[in-house]
């Protein structure tokens, strides 16, 4: 019996023990894209339950093992995201297809495309946009572009018609778009205003990179719903869908940021938030100390902080609310110590010893938005906006003395409606009301003669600067309305529109009609489109130049008339060719004008105004006399990227343009009769002898080459090469003889004298230096985990270390000579002790949870 029981146990173990061993199921799976009709090659897939990582082959297949049949989660590790797919594993040898996009299922696999939350409203973000003068930049193309320091906004530099104000990075805080003043651009985030795109350091943008979905850049004619821009319109769309919680931490040499995204209320809405701080001052001072280099004493480089918050909630398919909050603040300071026994050769700040300056700027934008979509063809959006841009400064240097705080704040309500009754016709219309609350407190610094290109701050005989006390509060209202219609039949489409703006405070209004038209021919590639358009566009500055104390209350809207046309060819394989010609004519530009006066005006000095409330010939300091024009053509060859793929992408752009300006303010030339100040003021009222000159930011030829390729889940490479004609400059031909000295240390101050003789060909912006060009590369290494990824990157700027220059630099501690002035070097290299020079670089790490 005992032996029998042993045999029974052996039979039982032989029958059932192998179940645990042989229950493992070996199968083959394929990751497949219906959209591309091919397998996803060389993609990492994490089998969530077993924590095993697999990699697909060239056809999208991979072999896997699970402990038992059942439903499993396959996590696809994509470029900047993760995608979970469900699959039912039934038996060994089975071949399962995992579909990356929507469609019928095979092998028990469900649809993997994230769907919009139930009740979500689809608004205008995906509406058809104009083709003329517009470039769209996608997040996956611009997130890791070389030379951008991880800032997608920097990618704007690579599109036609756009150049930064100071080469690339390191002071490039804004953009010149088709020859317009860089301060006349309009920057919007989710259709809400921000004051500036980049912080003082010129390296960091004010919008977190992980929050950006895409950007539309309008370089010429733009739709009527935008306003107050003579240059371009840069519209940034933030993330508009969050399917799962995400956290991003990015640390670089000069800033760190963290962002968070999460769905809310069971997927009916979402929240995104980010914050970033900059510490360029600590990085540069630490680097200088490590390299044994001297850093100017008393100088504190810029710091900044910014934040963005967005909350969206869908009550149902008809009602949505959202809250938006954007904030940014920058500041820097310098308190140069007095050194009576200084050595100018070793002290770069000797000419400004004893001077001090602190400056800051920032903005707060908050908005509550309600969207109502009663039917599929109509939606209406109401936005309550509170916008507060602010600046402050405190400076003391010779005759330059002033302290001011200013704001161009307003509270307003805006309405935007969209009606698309059929495929042939649609209309967009809206209106806005603002309650203005501008103020400027402290004092304004005004240059006595703005035509003087080298004012001497230590001139004690006839001071070059005047300080005017100000305590201005400008409260008033502002109204606007607009309408744009789209009429489409077959390949033909026309978009007429108009905009009306009115500011009662200055009693001025502006009516800007505009229109675009296009026709698409089928048959060649994916289609050929010809287009053209034009219109009037206006801008009124959001500052206090129109105030009655230190400004001109009669200032009118600045104006530009834009027109042009072109052709676009779409080819197979995501290729695009586009060419466009343009011209822009400027008028009523606001310029510094020392001769603009009111016959009788209010005394701006609050002390003498007690006994003399009114003065004769009151200086207005500004006028609308400025004019100008620009023209040119642009070419683009582009290979567009496909989201979620590892195909290479890139573009080549070429821009040829010329830009001119004329302030129309009387000039005293060497070959003209000498006039007294009174005679000049009288002559300037009836005769302007100023010459049309090249604009300060003119660059005739601009070429950009961009290439990006992520060949595996672990590695990505990017390349960027740029070429720009150097900006024009006015040659320095002498000095003032060193008539004055800095009283803080007795250092003689040599003020440069600039060429001002059209008869000799040496005049304002009459010369250029060698062209600017450089090559940037970037390497990204990704480490993928089940919880997210870690991205380490190395960015090398100016790989071949070209010594680019931008205009001339004059050392005020030395007289004019063969070596003073000298070419002014630009951002792009790092000089080390001993004369060694290395390329500028950036290293960092990004963690996504």
Q: How confident is the model over 128-149, as pLDDT tens digits?
A: 677 777 888 777 677 777 877 7
For residues 501 and 523, is the Cβ–Cβ distance under 8 A? no
Q: Is the dihedral of CA 109, 112, 117, 118 positive or negative?
A: negative
Q: Please tell me the predicted confidence (pLDDT) of residue 463.
A: 86
Tell me: pLDDT of 11 over 50.
Answer: no
DSSP bridge pairs for 749? 740
- Residue 337: helix, strand or coil by DSSP? coil
For residues 616 and 681, the answer to whether their CB atoms sit within 8 Å is no
| Residues 348, 337: Cα–Cα separation, whole Å | 12
**Using 50, 70 and 90 to split pLDDT, how confident is the model at 660?**
very high
Give the mean model confidence (pLDDT) for residues 236-244: 87
pLDDT above 90 for 653:
yes
Choice among 208-222, 569-583, 675-689, 778-792 with the minimum mean pLDDT? 675-689
Per-residue pLDDT reduced to its tens digit, 515-549: 999 998 887 777 889 999 999 999 987 666 777 76
CA distance 645 to 649: 10
The pLDDT assigned to 111 comes to 33
The pLDDT, as a whole number, for residue 466 is 83
Measured between alpha carbons, how far is 190 from 185 in angstroms, rounded to an integer?
Answer: 16
Name residues whose C-beta falls within 8 Å of residue 810's C-beta, 6 or more positions apart in sequence.
732, 750, 752, 816, 820, 821
Residue 464, SS3 per DSSP: coil
Q: What is the average per-residue pLDDT within 544-558? A: 79
Reported in sequence order, the residue ranges of 786-836 that DSSP labels E, i.e. its strands, are 788-797, 805-809, 822-825, 829-831
As a whole number of angstroms, the distance between CA 764 and CA 760 comes to: 12
- Specify the pLDDT at position 272: 95
757 secondary structure, DSSP code? B
Sole residue written with tokens 């703005």: 450
| pLDDT at position 127 | 57
Place of tokens 């039934």: 90
Query: Residue 686 carries which DSSP code?
Result: H
pLDDT at position 114 = 39
pLDDT digit string, tens, across residues 104-121 = 333 333 333 334 444 455
Regarding predicted confidence, which is higher, 440 or 817?
Answer: 817
Does residue 260 surpass a pLDDT of 60?
yes
Which own/partner contact pairs does 203-206 have at CB distance under 8 Å and 24+ positions apart?
A: 203/149, 203/151, 203/169, 203/170, 203/254, 203/255, 203/280, 204/149, 204/151, 204/254, 204/255, 204/276, 204/278, 204/304, 205/151, 205/152, 205/153, 205/154, 206/306, 206/326, 206/328
Q: Which two tokens stand for residue 10?
A: 């052996």
pLDDT confidence of residue 711: 77
* pTM for this entry: 0.81
d(CA 639, CA 648): 8
Residue 288, SS3 per DSSP: helix
No. of helices (H) and no. of strands (E), the chain: 5, 47
Neighbours of 797 (CB within 10 A): 25
What is the predicted pLDDT for the residue at 116? 43
Q: What is the pLDDT of residue 690?
A: 83
**Residue 346's pLDDT band (cuts 50, 70, 90):** low
Q: What b-and-e string marks burial along 436-463, b requiring 16 or more CB atoms within 10 Å of the CB?
A: bebbbebbbbbeeebbeebbbbbbeeeb
Residue for token pair 């805006």:
414
Instruction: Give the model's confidence band at 342: pLDDT under 50 very low, under 70 low, under 90 confident, else very high.
Output: low
Would you tell me how many other CB atoms lie within 10 Å of the CB of residue 23?
Answer: 11
CB-based burial label for 608 (10 Å; 0-12, 13-18, 19+): exposed
What is the SS3 string spanning 569-624?
EEECCCEEEEEEEEEEEEEEEEEECCCCEEEEEECCCCCHHHCCCEEEEEECCEEE
Residue 73: asked if its preceding bond is cis (omega within 30°), the reply is: no
338 class by beta-carbon count within 10 Å (0-12 exposed, 13-18 middle, 19+ buried): middle
pLDDT at 844: 77
pLDDT of the residue at 308:
95
Set out the domains of the chain in order of their start, with CATH numbers. Answer: 25-99 (2.60.40.1120), 134-251 (2.170.130.10), 252-848 (2.40.170.20)
CA gap 824, 808 in Å, rounded? 5
What is the reported pLDDT for 340?
A: 56
Selected residue with higher pLDDT from 121 and 724: 724
Is the predicted pLDDT of residue 310 greater than 70, yes or no?
A: yes
How far is it, in rounded angstroms, from Cα 594 to Cα 448? 7
What is the model's pLDDT at position 96? 87
Q: What is the mean pLDDT of residues 413-422?
A: 94
Tokens representing 716 are 């990505």
The mean pLDDT of 88-96, rounded to a whole number, is: 80
pLDDT of residue 287: 67
DSSP 197-220: SB-TTSS-BSS-GGGEEEEEEE-S
State how far the Cα of 496 lies from the Cα of 533, in Å rounded to an integer: 9
pLDDT-derived band of residue 362, with 50, 70 and 90 as boundaries?
Answer: very high
> How does 210-239 read in b/e, with b if 16+ C-beta sit within 10 Å?
bbbebbbbbbbbbbbbbbbbbbbbbbbbbb
- The stretch 643-648 carries a mean pLDDT of 63
Token couple for 400: 């330059």
pLDDT of residue 645: 56
pLDDT tens digit sequence for 18-37 = 333 345 788 889 888 876 77
d(CA 388, CA 346) in angstroms, rounded, equals 43
> Which element (helix H / strand E) includes 685?
helix 677-686
Task: Measure Cα distances from 743 to 399, 460, 463 in Å.
Answer: 11, 11, 14
- Asked whether the predicted pLDDT for residue 606 surpasses 80, the reply is no
Distance (Å, whole) CA 277 – CA 661: 39
H or E segment to which residue 31 belongs:
strand 25-33
pLDDT in tens, 746-775: 888 999 999 888 777 788 889 999 999 999
pLDDT of residue 459 exceeding 50, the answer is: yes
Better pLDDT: 136 or 727: 727
- 3-state SS class at 377: coil
Q: Is the pLDDT of residue 48 over 90?
A: no
- Confidence (pLDDT) at 106: 33
Average pLDDT, the chain: 82
Average pLDDT over every residue of 652-670: 89
Closest CA to 332 of 295, 296, 305, 303: 303
pLDDT tens for 485-502 read 999 988 899 999 999 999
Q: Residue 316: pLDDT above 80?
A: yes
Average pLDDT over residues 768-794: 85
Q: Using a pLDDT cut of 70, give the percent of the chain over it.
A: 86
Asked if 306 and 711 touch (Cβ cutoff 8 Å), the reply is: no
Rounded-to-integer distance, Cα 367 and Cα 258, Å: 22
pLDDT in tens, 139-189: 767 777 787 777 888 888 888 999 888 754 444 678 999 989 988 999 999
* Distance, CA of 321 to CA of 841 (rounded, Å): 43
Please name the helix (run of DSSP H) or strand (run of DSSP E) that holds residue 531, with its range, or none: strand 527-539
Q: What is the pLDDT of residue 108?
A: 30
204-213, 309-318, 712-721, 829-838: the lowest-pLDDT one: 829-838
Angle at alpha carbon of residue 467, lines to 809 and 298, rounded to 5°: 50
């Amino acid at each position: 019996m005992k032996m029998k029981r042993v045999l029974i146990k052996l039979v039982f173990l032989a029958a059932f023990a192998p179940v645990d061993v042989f229950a493992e199921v070996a199968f083959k799976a394929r990751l497949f894209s219906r959209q591309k009709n091919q397998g996803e090659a060389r993609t990492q897939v994490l089998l969530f339950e077993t924590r095993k990582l697999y990699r697909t082959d060239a056809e999208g297949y991979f072999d896997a093992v699970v402990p038992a049949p059942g439903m499993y989660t396959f996590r696809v590790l994509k470029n900047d995201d993760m995608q979970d797919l469900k699959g039912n594993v039934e038996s060994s040898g089975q071949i399962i297809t995992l579909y990356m996009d929507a469609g019928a299922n095979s092998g028990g696999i469900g649809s993997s495309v994230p769907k919009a939350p139930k009740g979500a409203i689809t608004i205008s973000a995906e509406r058809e946009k104009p083709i003329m003068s517009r470039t769209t930049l996608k997040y996956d193309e611009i997130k890791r572009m070389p030379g951008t320091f991880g800032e997608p906004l920097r990618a704007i530099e690579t599109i036609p018609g756009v150049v930064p104000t100071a080469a690339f990075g390191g002071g490039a805080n804004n953009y010149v778009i088709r020859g317009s003043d860089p301060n006349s651009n309009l920057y919007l985030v989710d259709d809400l205003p921000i004051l500036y795109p980049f912080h003082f350091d010129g390296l960091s943008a004010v919008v977190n990179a992980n929050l950006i979905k895409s950007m539309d850049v309008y370089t010429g004619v733009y739709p009527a719903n935008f306003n107050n821009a003579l240059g371009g319109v840069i519209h940034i769309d933030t993330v508009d869908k969050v399917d799962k919680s995400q956290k991003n931490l990015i640390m670089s040499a000069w800033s760190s940021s963290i962002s968070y995204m999460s769905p809310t209320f069971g997927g009916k809405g979402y929240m995104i938030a980010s914050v970033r701080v900059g510490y360029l001052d600590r990085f540069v001072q630490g680097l200088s100390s490590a390299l044994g280099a001297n850093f100017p004493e008393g100088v504190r480089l810029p710091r900044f902080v910014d934040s963005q918050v967005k909350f969206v909630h869908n009550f149902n398919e008809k009602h949505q609310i959202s809250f938006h909050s954007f904030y940014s603040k920058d500041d820097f300071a310098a308190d140069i110590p007095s050194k009576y026994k200084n050595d100018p050769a070793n002290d770069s700040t000797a000419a400004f010893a004893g001077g001090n300056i602190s400056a800051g700027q920032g903005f707060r934008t908050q908005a509550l938005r309600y969207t109502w979509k009663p039917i599929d063809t109509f939606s209406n959006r109401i936005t309550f906006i509170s916008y507060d841009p602010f600046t402050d400064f405190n400076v003391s240097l010779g005759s330059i003395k002033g302290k001011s705080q200013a704001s161009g704040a307003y509270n307003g309500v805006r309405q935007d409606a969209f009606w698309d009754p059929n495929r042939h016709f649609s209309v967009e219309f809206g209106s806005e009301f603002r309650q203005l609350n501008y103020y400027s407190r402290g004092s304004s610094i005004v240059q006595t003669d703005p035509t003087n290109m080298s004012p001497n701050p230590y001139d004690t005989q006839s001071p070059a600067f005047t300080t005017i006390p100000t305590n201005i509060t400008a409260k008033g209202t502002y109204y606007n309305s607009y309408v744009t219609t789209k009429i489409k039949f077959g390949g033909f489409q026309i978009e007429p529109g108009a905009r009306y703006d009115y500011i009662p405070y200055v009693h001025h209004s502006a009516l800007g009609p505009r229109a675009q038209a296009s026709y698409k021919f089928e048959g060649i590639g994916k289609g050929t489109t010809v287009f053209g358009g034009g219109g009037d566009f206006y801008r009124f500055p959001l500052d206090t130049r129109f105030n009655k104390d230190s400004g001109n209350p009669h200032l009118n809207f600045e104006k530009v008339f834009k027109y042009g046309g072109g052709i676009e060819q779409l080819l197979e394989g995501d290729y695009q060719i586009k060419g466009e010609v343009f011209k822009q004519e400027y008028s009523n530009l606001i310029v510094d004008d020392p001769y603009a006066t009111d016959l009788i005006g209010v005394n701006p000095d609050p002390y003498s105004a007690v006994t003399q409330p009114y003065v004769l010939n009151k200086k207005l300091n500004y006028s609308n006399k400025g004019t100008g024009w620009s023209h040119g053509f642009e070419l683009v060859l582009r290979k567009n990227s496909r989201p979620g793929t590892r195909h290479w992408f890139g573009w080549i752009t070429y821009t040829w343009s010329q830009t001119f300006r004329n302030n129309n303010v009387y000039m005293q030339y060497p070959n003209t009769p000498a006039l007294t100040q009174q005679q000049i003021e009288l002559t300037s009222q009836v005769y302007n002898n100023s010459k049309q000159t090249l604009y300060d930011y003119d660059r005739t030829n601009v070429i950009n080459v961009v290439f990006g390729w992520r060949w595996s889940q672990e590695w990505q490479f990017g390349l960027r090469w740029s070429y720009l004609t150097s900006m024009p400059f006015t040659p320095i031909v002498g000095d003032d003889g060193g008539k004055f000295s800095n009283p803080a240390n007795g250092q003689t101050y040599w003020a440069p004298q600039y060429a001002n003789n059209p008869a000799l060909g040496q005049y304002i912006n009459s010369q250029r230096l060698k062209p600017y060009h450089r090559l940037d590369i970037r390497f990204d290494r990704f480490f993928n985990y089940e919880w997210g990824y870690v991205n380490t990157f190395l960015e090398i700027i100016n790989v071949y270390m070209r010594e680019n220059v931008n205009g001339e630099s004059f050392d005020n501690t030395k007289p004019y000579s063969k070596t003073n002035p000298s070419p002014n070097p630009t951002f792009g290299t790092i000089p080390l002790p001993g004369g060694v020079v290395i390329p500028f670089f950036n290293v960092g790490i990004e963690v996504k949870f």
